Structure 1
Amino acid sequence: MDWIAATGGRQETGHRVTFDTPDAPRLALDATVITPLAHLGALDVEGPDAETFLQGQTSAQVSLADGEFAPLTCFCTPKGRMLANAQLLRIAPAHYRLLMHASLVSSLSGHLKKFAPFYKVELRERNDLALLGLIGQEAPALAEVHFDALPSRPWHQAGNDEFQMLAHPGPRPRLLVCLPAERADDAWQWLKEHATPVDNAVWRLHDIQAGLAWLDADQQDTYLPQMLNWEALGGISFKKGCYTGQEVVARAHFRGQVKKRLMRGQLEGDKLPEPGSAVVDAEDKRLGEVINAELDAYDQVEILAVMSTKEPTEPLSLEGQHLKLLKLPYPIERVDPETMATTD
């Protein structure tokens, strides 16, 4: 990705970008920061049948993606396991964009292309786009000045068919900007005059603190959407018609059959566990596994893990480090995207 090199950041393994900014997580508590979101990617769905096509495949009520509301969504196997979770944008009539973990763009495109011949629709992996993240109290003002656009609230979008700006939840204001890669350098140079470049680990940390997990290629076909609290984030419409995996997802919701949930925690240590690392109880019994982990402003590891909902036998640990469970920033209850789209 040449546009990332132009920022002065170093592209590392695992879709990480690093800078020489010291104490970046702590800096993001008080200052405004900017980062290349190299871990995210985009898949476009275009054509006269794009809405109908997506409606049969995704958990979102596609008609709600109207250019202002940009709902969370997911794609499942017939057994209800998630192949990818994403945010759905409408770029223009008959043109939608899905933002997700970069490692899933190609596999989801290949999956959807199996159904595409029955529709007037085209799928495009958008490697020509740049995704930038702004975090901080001044982020909205900077975005409004430079881009002349600002989403009204989280999970909403602003902009036009060339660039889009999305508001994401978190402990500080967060904005995601999607624009053509050839425009990224100019935008970055202006923004970095007012915001400090930091590793994209800072954005990922704020996702953790928001209780928001993005699956990667190693985690697909493993979890029901509810195991990532997707219905509590408004990522599932229970009012729409059928889509692949809908019957299993609905049954798990209405019968209360979800025995594992996404939980947030903090480790007493600074050793980052790998995704998939086991969380164990006092009797060394496996309770679940890490989805993602990042260092916070105090050099302690914060994690999201899918764990059993049963009361655990404490103390909990992860690779020899004590695990303290933290409160999620939202209740575990169903939030209908239809309500999110209309609530001021």
Structure 2
Amino acid sequence: MNSIWQQHLLNCGASIEANCVVNFGNPIKEMASLQSGAVLIDLSDFGLISFSGEDSQIFLQGQLTNDIRQVNSGKSQYSSYCTPKGRMLANFLIWQNDEHGYIMQLPVELQESIQKRLSMFVMRSKVKVTDISGLSIRLGIAGSNAKEILQNHYGNVPETPQEVIRIGDDTIINLPGNRFEIITIPENAANLWDALSKICTPVGSAAWEWYEIQAGIPRITTATQEQFVPQMVNYEVIGGVNFQKGCYPGQEIVARTQYLGKLKRRMYLAHLNTGAPAAGDDLFSPEMEGQASGMVVNVFPSPKGGYDLLAVIQISSAASETIHWKTLDGPALELQQLPYALP
């Protein structure tokens, strides 16, 4: 986290641990604010990797699950990076600008390893892979009136999910679930935060994950790397996989799963009333005879109590069985409706 930016957040009452805002001194009020009004979130727990150079589009086209040719200055894209066996190493948002080429945003905990792995395959291509996390400050604003607030502040706002607009030094991205991300330069960040925090409730960085959960957008972390092919986390449903593009690592497995195989597991939105679930926790159902029937992908405390989570679950179990956390005798999940339809 930028040291000047960190000091500003501390001056605003932030409690910061491991370069991540935990809260702003009133966790109960902050949790309640997730259900009403708009919240303001520092997104320093995401890193940015830049891919620049004349071969950057060709290079990324051969590495990612989505068609990078569809990304431009006005449109961002969800995409992912897989092993040769089609298992997801990371998923991310990617956009483009004139200064840095293609920009990949992913959790800080994965950034270094993914950047190093992708750099290994550049070889003689004219591509420069760079960590540019420190060159900007990322803010998230979410809630039912987030669009109105940004409209009033900027005079313009991206209208559709994944649309991108540039206003001065700021880039604004519309994201599913009444969310917007603002990428600004460090020199402007403090004034922008101060202006928006008069209207929005500042909350801890992890709250962004709750909005992602509600929107049905997975976030691969170290706990879940190499556990899922993209379709298991509904990635083709949210537009993160293109089946007409060329080859990439794992493409044969992903395509075979889509056209020839029968997908046995899908990601569901769920609630757990008790316990302390974590990403990577196993789930169980009677039909699997002691074998895990699923795994927690993402989890965050619910404003209503308990925990909201995204979980990959055996489709047959989700349709007819009770799903339990950690053991067959563990607390039961309450499956809920995703904001999009599954195939």
Flag whether TM exceeds 0.5 (same fold): yes
Q: 2:176 aligns with which of 160, 166, 169?
A: 169
The amino acid across from 2:208 in the alignment is: W
Instruction: Please give the alpha-carbon distance, in whole angstroms, between the structure 2 residues aligned to 1:326 and 1:86.
Output: 25
Instruction: Please give the alpha-carbon distance, in whole angstroms, between the structure 2 residues aligned to 1:32 and 1:48.
Output: 41
Instruction: Please give the alpha-carbon distance, in whole angstroms, between the structure 1 residues aligned to 2:71 and 2:23.
Output: 33
The amino acid across from 1:90 in the alignment is: Q
Q: Aligned-pair distance for 1:14?
A: 9.4
Scaled by the length of structure 1, the TM-score of the pair is 0.89
Using the TM superposition, name which of 298-307 and 284-293 deviates more.
284-293
Q: Secondary structure at the match of 1:106?
A: helix
Question: Are 2:328 and 1:332 aligned?
Answer: no
Q: Aligned-pair distance for 1:37?
A: 1.7
- 1:22-75 superposed Cα distances (whole Å, 9 cap, x missing partner): 332331322111011233221111111111111111112111111112111111
Instruction: Please give the alpha-carbon distance, in whole angstroms, between the structure 1 residues aligned to 2:112 and 2:66.
Output: 20
Distance change in 2, residues 1:149/1:63 (3 Å): farther
Does the 8 A contact of 1:279 with 1:288 survive in 2? yes
Q: Aligned-pair distance for 1:278?
A: 1.7
Does the 8 A contact of 1:48 with 1:94 survive in 2? no
Show the counterpart of 1:134.
141
Does the 8 A contact of 2:283 with 2:295 survive in 1? yes
Using the TM superposition, name which of 54-63 and 94-103 deviates more.
94-103
Show the counterpart of 2:101.
95
Does the 8 A contact of 2:158 with 2:172 survive in 1? yes
Question: Are 2:122 and 1:112 aligned?
Answer: no
Show the counterpart of 2:293.
287
Question: Are 2:195 and 1:195 aligned?
Answer: no
Distance change in 2, residues 1:42/1:136 (3 Å): same
- 1:149-192 superposed Cα distances (whole Å, 9 cap, x missing partner): 4212111211169432111111xx21111222343222111111
Q: 1:273 aligns with which of 272, 277, 280?
A: 277
The amino acid across from 2:165 in the alignment is: A
Q: 1:18 aligns with which of 7, 15, 23?
A: 23
In the alignment, structure 1 segments of 5+ residues that lack a partner are: 334-344
Show the counterpart of 1:225.
230
Q: Secondary structure at the match of 1:116?
A: coil
Q: Secondary structure at the match of 1:244?
A: coil
In the alignment, structure 2 segments of 5+ residues that lack a partner are: none
Distance change in 2, residues 1:15/1:192 (3 Å): closer
Does the 8 A contact of 2:61 with 2:67 survive in 1? yes
Instruction: Please give the alpha-carbon distance, in whole angstroms, between the structure 2 residues aligned to 1:117 and 1:321.
Output: 50
Does the 8 A contact of 2:86 with 2:253 survive in 1? yes
Question: Are 2:309 and 1:303 aligned?
Answer: yes
Scaled by the length of structure 2, the TM-score of the pair is 0.89
Does the 8 A contact of 1:272 with 1:294 survive in 2? no
Question: Are 2:13 and 1:6 aligned?
Answer: no
Instruction: Please give the alpha-carbon distance, in whole angstroms, between the structure 1 residues aligned to 2:313 and 2:144.
Output: 33
Does the 8 A contact of 2:50 with 2:100 survive in 1? no
How large is the RMSD of aligned CA atoms in angstroms?
2.1
- 1:175-224 superposed Cα distances (whole Å, 9 cap, x missing partner): 11122234322211111111111122322111111111111123222211
Instruction: Please give the alpha-carbon distance, in whole angstroms, between the structure 1 residues aligned to 2:208 and 2:268.
Output: 18
Q: Aligned-pair distance for 1:255?
A: 1.3
Does the 8 A contact of 2:21 with 2:42 survive in 1? no
Q: Secondary structure at the match of 1:321?
A: coil
Question: Are 2:85 and 1:83 aligned?
Answer: no
Q: Aligned-pair distance for 1:109?
A: 0.7
Instruction: Please give the alpha-carbon distance, in whole angstroms, between the structure 1 residues aligned to 2:6 and 2:201.
Output: 15
Q: Secondary structure at the match of 2:31?
A: helix
Q: How many residues align?
A: 330
Q: Aligned-pair distance for 1:5?
A: 4.3
Show the counterpart of 1:178.
183
Q: Secondary structure at the match of 1:23?
A: helix
Does the 8 A contact of 1:227 with 1:261 survive in 2? yes
Q: Secondary structure at the match of 1:30?
A: coil
Using the TM superposition, name which of 74-83 and 315-324 deviates more.
315-324
Using the TM superposition, name which of 52-61 and 20-29 deviates more.
20-29
The amino acid across from 2:331 in the alignment is: Q
Distance change in 2, residues 1:260/1:50 (3 Å): same
The amino acid across from 2:8 in the alignment is: A
Show the counterpart of 2:261.
256
- 1:301-324 superposed Cα distances (whole Å, 9 cap, x missing partner): 111111212235643221532211
Q: 2:244 aligns with which of 239, 242, 252?
A: 239
Question: Are 2:50 and 1:44 aligned?
Answer: yes
Show the counterpart of 1:322.
332
Show the counterpart of 1:143.
150
